[in-house]
Amino acid sequence: MGDLGQPRLAAVIITRNESLDIAACIESCSFAEKVFVLDSLSTDDTAARARAAGADVQFREFTNYADQQNVALSLVADFDWVLMMDADERVPKDMASEVRAVVCDASDDIVLYRIRRKDFFFGRWLRCATGYPTWSARLMRPVRVHFTRDINEELVAHGKTAFLSTHFHHFPFSKGISAWFERHNSYSTMEAIRLGEEQSSRIGWRLSDLGDPARRRRVAKQVFYRLPCRPLIAFLGLYLLRGGFLDGWAGLQYCRPRSMYEYMIALKMHERRFLAAARRT
């Protein structure tokens, strides 16, 4: 990449204590001209393993997810394209080939490619239980996009969006079940705070949102978090309506903690309202 006038492609991985996964993730991104790791002051040997795997490691104290992503974009402002990955994700060979092709052939008005992911649990791709397909903003022109929202961040693209036909692979339980619950305990706290703020405003949507899967998902989420019995709805939606039962035992075991995550958010939102009311009396 970068030779003979070809577009320059970088990869960026944002980390925090990702010693177990980082080397394999970097290796899967090695088709890029350069791999950057933006580390949130890990207390394990993530940085050392990343350097050993050939990455350029930079450090920044974590503030929120959108800030971290925007700083990561600034690291690669000199590149034409950037592929943004998480340490528990992998780029398979067919996706690497497609990425190399599209960055060379993309028209100037395309600034973002969304890519579907395959989530794996106990060695099985959860084809239904995760609500597949989920389109993630991963391949982009770094100077023509930016991130908003401090948790479950959203990307604003100043140009057209296109879609890859291949998938990246996601291993959300790569560090074990306990680590997943610890991480989602933190996520649910941040989400409860953010949703409490957002619910004071009206749901904003336009007809054009229906044609973009990411915007459609955002509107659906705004509606969902105003409904009662969200944990039950989440379980029934994933397990029955989306066909999670077709993923067998792994599908059932995945849908249960996903509904528990929604319960954690709902309970923490209720707690915040209760404490706010108590302070007013």
The structural domains of the chain, with segments of one domain joined by +, span 3-170, 177-280
166: number of CA atoms within 13 Å, CB side?
A: 17
- Hey, what are 28's tokens? 């899967």
Reported as a pLDDT band with limits 50, 70 and 90, residue 84 is very high
By CB neighbour count within 10 A (0-12 exposed, 13-18 middle, 19+ buried), where does 280 fall? exposed
pLDDT of 4 above 70: no
Give the predicted TM-score (pTM) of the model.
0.87
The torsion of the CA quartet 193, 199, 200, 203, rounded to 10 degrees, works out to 140
Pairing of strands 124-125, 110-121: antiparallel
Integer CA distances (angstroms), 244 to 162, 218, 224, 236, in order: 28, 22, 19, 9
pLDDT digits (tens, 9 = 90+) for 139-183: 999 999 999 988 888 899 999 999 999 999 999 999 999 999 999
2.40.160.60, 3.90.550.10, 3.40.630.30, 3.40.50.720: CATH of 3-170: 3.90.550.10
Q: Which of 203, 76, 90, 207 is nearest to 144 (CA)?
A: 76
Tell me what pLDDT residue 222 has.
67
Phi-psi region of 272 (alpha: psi -120 to 50; beta: other; left: phi over 0): alpha
Q: Helix, strand or coil for residue 199?
A: coil
Tell me what pLDDT residue 180 has.
96
